[in-house]
Amino acid sequence: MARVSNLLESKGTEVATVAPDATVAAAIAELARLRIGALVVTADGSHIDGIVSERDVVQRLHQLRGDLLDEPVSAIMSTTVETCRPTDDVESLMRTMTERRVRHLPVVEGGELRGIVSIGDVVKQRMGELERDRHELLEYISAR
């Protein structure tokens, strides 16, 4: 069974972050530059203060209109952040992402940020497992 640590071995542990006092405009620019859907909000690069996603931006943009861009990220970030551990299995991540309707799970170990896993990472892992299973079945069938 695949673990979060296996996902991080393939994708790396680098996490795109933003400071809580950065402007929403700066966060949007970073999301666009990196072509990602979320940034972990952290003042020290190690502890999670929140997470800001494209969804957070869109929801607040509807409320605040143009004034949003000058607001600090801390004004729009989600402060309740679902996280996972390197030892968690990928199956439990799929369940958490589905039940909690989140697409990004920061990886935390010993209270510190160690990586981030997206729904895309989980799907890629699962597709790899299915491909391996298919290959093994074909080998089994052709060996008969």
Number of structural domains, the chain?
A: 1
Q: What is the pLDDT of residues 46-92, one digit of tens each?
A: 999 999 999 999 988 877 776 788 889 999 999 999 999 999 999 99
Full residue range of the structural domain in which residue 62 is found: 4-143
CATH number of the domain that residue 58 is part of: 3.10.580.10
Q: What is the pLDDT of residues 102-124, one digit of tens each?
A: 999 999 999 999 999 999 999 99
Q: What's the predicted TM-score (pTM) here?
A: 0.82
For residue 25, count other CB atoms closer than 10 A to its CB. 13
Name, in order, each residue with C-beta under 8 angstroms of 39's C-beta and a sequence gap of 6 or more: 16, 17, 18, 27, 30, 31, 51, 52, 53, 73
Q: What is the pLDDT of residues 94-107, one digit of tens each?
A: 999 999 999 999 99
